[in-house]
Amino acid sequence: YSSLGFEMLSYELLSKKLNLNLNEIYSFWTNELEIDVFAKFNDKFIVGEVKYKDRKICKNILNLINTKCQKLGISPDIIALFSKSGFSKELLNLKSENLLLFDLNDFKSLID
């Protein structure tokens, strides 16, 4: 249940950071794949992964989300990754306005 709660809080954080309606953010499922965070607004796609694990997220998660998007035939405008335990140095170096990285410290803004 903790991971589901973390996913719901991730939607709320993304909604706050990008000024989106919370109802526009959801998980996307097909028989073949799952995307934890999915939103479409103003003809832009936002996709993301939520990891509630005791290890840092590495670049392979970014590669995985890009592969999922290719299978769906979409090109994400923004990729948002949420991690309980942070990110690898390699992934932190890739952070940009199109690659958003959120760790536990970012969630403090939900109670401010």
Largest Cα–Cα separation, the chain: 39
Which residue reads 């335990």 in tokens? 85
Fold observed for domain 2-110: 3.40.1340
pLDDT for 79-102, tens place per residue?
999 999 999 999 999 999 999 999
pLDDT at res. 4: 85
Cα 94 to Cα 65: distance, rounded to the nearest angstrom: 15
Token output for 106:
């970012």
Cα 31 to Cα 51: distance, rounded to the nearest angstrom: 21
- 34 close to 28: Cβ distance less than 8 angstroms: yes
Token output for 28:
């996307």
Token output for 55:
């290890």
Cα 57 to Cα 50: distance, rounded to the nearest angstrom: 10
Please give the average pLDDT of every successive group of 10 residues along the chain, which has 112 residues. 86 92 90 94 91 96 96 96 97 97 94 81
